[in-house]
């Protein structure tokens, strides 16, 4: 490569990000270097600041800068938990305003091929919370991938016998799509039409 090593390294960092191919990574890296140094400093500092301050809520694992996130604090009386794969998946629920309950972020979905079993997710804590906090409905918002489906089925099975309603989002979320990017109307429909197990 004719690029200097430090530039190559920057390109490699960008291309390690989701959705960023080599071409885009190179374009971003060159763009950063073409602007004043202060902008590069600000950019790198904001990455560090977020990495240092943002952490999972100790109750629901949604990203927060506090010990307990504002949703857990403000909705402490809510009796529904919506289970999602990752923190950003709560955004379409919040944007559409369709849901006013609690969340629980699993931190992934079952993926035996990648060695992700139930113990790698936060499933035991979820089950305990549902059983001890008088939760009335668990909404499984896990997307429509095969991994999401089998994770939903496992949670449903583990909650059998607990007196709690279990539901899942209606079809309409495009197959295999990332919940995070679902638009508000689709989310509204999927939520309102949610199916009881
Ligand atoms: Zn929380």
CATH classification at residue 116: 3.40.1360.10
> Is pLDDT at 56 greater than 90 in this prediction?
yes
Q: What is the pTM of this model?
A: 0.84
- The pLDDT value recorded for residue 176 is 60
How close is the Cα of 29 to the center of ligand 1, in Å? 35
CB-based burial, 157-180: b 16+ in 10 Å, e otherwise: ebbeeeebebbbbeeebeeeebbe
Using pLDDT thresholds of 50, 70 and 90, give the confidence band for residue 190: confident
- The pLDDT value recorded for residue 173 is 67
How close is the Cα of 58 to the center of ligand 1, in Å? 7
The pair of structure tokens assigned to 123 is: 């499933």
Asked whether residue 61 is assigned to any structural domain, the reply reads no
Total domains in the chain come to: 2
Mean pLDDT for 89-112 is 92
Using pLDDT thresholds of 50, 70 and 90, give the confidence band for residue 63: very high
Asked whether residue 97 is assigned to any structural domain, the reply reads yes
Q: Which domain holds residue 26?
A: 5-53
Mean pLDDT for 162-173 is 83
How close is the Cα of 102 to the center of ligand 1, in Å? 8
Asked whether residue 189 is assigned to any structural domain, the reply reads yes
How close is the Cα of 172 to the center of ligand 1, in Å? 27
Least confidently predicted of 36-45, 77-86, 160-169, 171-180: 171-180
């Amino acid at each position: 490569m004719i690029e200097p090593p430090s530039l190559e390294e920057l390109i490699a960092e960008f291309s390690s990000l989701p959705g960023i191919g080599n071409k885009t990574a190179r374009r971003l890296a060159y763009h950063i270097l073409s602007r004043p140094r202060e902008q590069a400093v600000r950019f790198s500092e904001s990455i560090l600041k977020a990495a240092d301050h943002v952490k999972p809520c100790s109750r629901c694992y949604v990203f927060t800068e506090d010990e307990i996130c504002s949703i857990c604090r403000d909705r402490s009386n809510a009796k529904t938990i919506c289970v999602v794969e990752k923190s950003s998946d709560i955004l379409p629920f919040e944007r559409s305003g369709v849901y006013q309950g609690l969340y629980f972020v699993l931190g992934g979905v079952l993926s035996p091929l990648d060695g992700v079993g139930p113990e790698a997710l936060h499933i035991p804590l979820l089950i305990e919370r549902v059983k001890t906090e008088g939760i009335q409905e668990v909404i499984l918002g896990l997307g429509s991938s095969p991994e999401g489906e089998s994770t939903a089925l496992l949670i449903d099975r583990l909650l059998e016998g607990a007196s709690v309603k279990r539901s899942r989002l209606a079809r309409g979320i495009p197959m295999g799509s990332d919940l995070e990017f679902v638009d508000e109307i689709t989310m509204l429909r999927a939520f309102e039409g949610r199916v009881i197990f």
